[in-house]
Amino acid sequence: MITGNTKLLGVMGHPINHSFSPAIHNAALNDAGLDYAYLPLEVPKESLNNTLKWIKTLNFRGFNVTIPHKNDILPLLDEVTEEAKTVGAVNTVIRENGRLIGYNTDIVGFTAGLAEANFKAENKNAVILGAGGAARAVIAGLLKEKIKNIAIAARNTEKAEILAKNFNRGVVCVNFADEEYNNLLKDADIVVNTTPLGMYPNVDAMPPIDFSIVKKDALIYDIIYTPEETKFLKEAKEKGLKTANGETMLVEQGAAAFRLWTGEDPNVDLMKETLRNALKDCRHEGVE
């Protein structure tokens, strides 16, 4: 029930009507008996600055940030964690004494998926497919988990090289068409798809990869969560490889935001069940 004491949370993006976050968070807030309401906040690019000024004065505890604001919001916040600065993206904001502080919980969401798959990154080799926003959080997560080598394979190597420069260490960049891509795949202990190839409704697409050359004990991780099993994961499974999808990343980035705002642990199983039900009702592209 919304009362006079209810504190506000929300997710800011444009468009926002496809977001699963209001359903996931309100279910967890109700379950925890916390007096918060989580709202969808439709904020076009040109309104971002004014919306932040307005939010500072209201009874918001914080909010999530999604497409297209994850990068543009950084200079508009009062403080940003070092981690979020390295990634160049904020997906969670806390309002503390009227100040807005930006975090990136996609990183911990991604590493929660690694833990669930029982993957220990230390001293291993990773190949990341794609060089967009999500790839940055994936790389930060792998570095946090002490991965040995990281390579990015992309269709646009220049973009990948710009991304690689954000990280304080060598990251190899190759084009999907390069011979070197296959050499990297042969040595990979983990391959992560961060391109949208295969995401609903384009379920017949997948990034170029020859799974027959990948090590038998490698983890194939697709951060897409709709469909549950992308063509990329299906083909990997058919070759006997271990797979993980993006569901845990999505739910755990939300759970980490919940902890930052409320100081309490959410019911993660309920969050997952709510996401699955929402996906069943509505097979669409979905944003966090």
Residue ranges binding ligand NAP (CB under 6 A): 106, 109, 130-135, 154-156, 159, 194-197, 199, 223-225, 246, 249-250, 253, 288
- Write down the number of H helices and E strands in the chain: 10, 12
Least CB distance to ligand NAP at residue 253 (A): 6
**Which among 101, 168, 163 has a CA at the least distance from the CA of 135?**
163
Helix (H) or strand (E) holding 109: helix 106-116
Least CB distance to ligand NAP at residue 2 (A): 28
Least CB distance to ligand NAP at residue 195 (A): 3
- Smaller CB separation from ligand NAP, 36 or 225: 225
Least CB distance to ligand NAP at residue 124 (A): 21
Point out the residue whose Cβ comes nearest to ligand NAP: 132
> At residue 111, what are phi and psi to the nearest 5 degrees?
-70, -25
Cβ proximity of 25 and 254 under 8 Å? yes
CB crowding 217-255: b at 16 or more within 10 Å, else e: ebbbbbbbbbbeebbbbebbeeeebbbbbbbbbbbbbbb
- Smaller CB separation from ligand NAP, 216 or 280: 280
The residue annotated as part of the active site, out of 7, 45, 56, 70, is 70
- Smaller CB separation from ligand NAP, 8 or 206: 206
- Smaller CB separation from ligand NAP, 106 or 189: 106
Residue 170, number of CB atoms within 10 A of its CB: 9
- In angstroms, what CA-CA distances link 161 with 74, 113, 154, 165? 22, 26, 10, 6
Residue 70 annotated as catalytic: yes
> Which residues does the annotation mark as catalytic?
70
